[in-house]
Amino acid sequence: MTFKAAAIQMCSGVDPVKNAADMARLVREAAAQGAVYVQTPEMTGAVQKDRPGLRAILRDEANDIIVKTASDLAKELGIHVHVGSTAIPLDDGKIANRGFLFGPDGKLISRYDKIHMFDVDLDNGESWRESAVYRPGSEARIVSLPFAELGFSICYDVRFPQLFRAQAVAGAEVMTVPAAFTRQTGEAHWEILLRARAIENGMFVIAAAQAGVHEDGRETFGHSMIIDPWGKVLASAGGTGEAVLVAEIDVAAVKSAHDKIPNLKNAREFSLEKIATPAAGGVAA
């Protein structure tokens, strides 16, 4: 089974209405190139670091313009549209960093809430505390599409290989990594992390990214990519501005990679022992 997949690179601003219009234009462009699965970046609806400003534009799922636009596009174009994520308010006052996958009939197939929160302090002075605003998800998920077994992650999740391994063992053939990587961490780790996840699990990785300097002053790394199970980059974008990446996905390559390097099958359980060395002048037990 082969199919065309697309990764949409965006530079979302603070206005969800404009971002929805930009998304629609780019998704239509991808569909015109033959893509039957189209992925948008993390925080497609708005990149807004001002928390009161973000909360002011939030809408529940039933009234969210990104969700509605994606559903309408999927039905109009007869394709699968995957909103990498957008911010959705929750009843407890927190926000979900939530992805949505719509089928060709426009109906919702699956949601995915980002599991790992980006709580870090970077060398350039940037400080991030996603957990102060967002409620982490707790469920990994695989969806059986007509053309592939699709697994989910969002951005910072890529640094947790156990999430990818669990989905690979469960049969995922394509992993999705929509993201809004910072420029500093992206320059250091983005490509190598994506290729490592593809290689170590023998799966395709599709990563649609935010790119460039946003209205709120944030800068994201871009370089959206589609990678095959052998770690080969099939398509990539630059570090700024919009892009539509389309690549042919041959799902048979997943089995081929597993046959060549059967590390999933060869994995073994093991125990771990930590040995304490004696203090100076002491005697080891």
- Catalytic positions are 42, 114, 155
For 104, the token pair is 């060709």
* CA dist 224 → 40, 147, 205, 207 (Å): 10, 22, 11, 6
* CA dist 19 → 11, 65, 155 (Å): 9, 9, 19
Phi first, then psi: what are they for 50, rounded to 5°? -75, 115
Could you give the CA distance from residue 226 to residue 247 in angstroms, rounded to a whole number? 7
For 81, the token pair is 């549209």
Element (H, E) at 264: helix 263-266
CA 276 to chain centre: 40
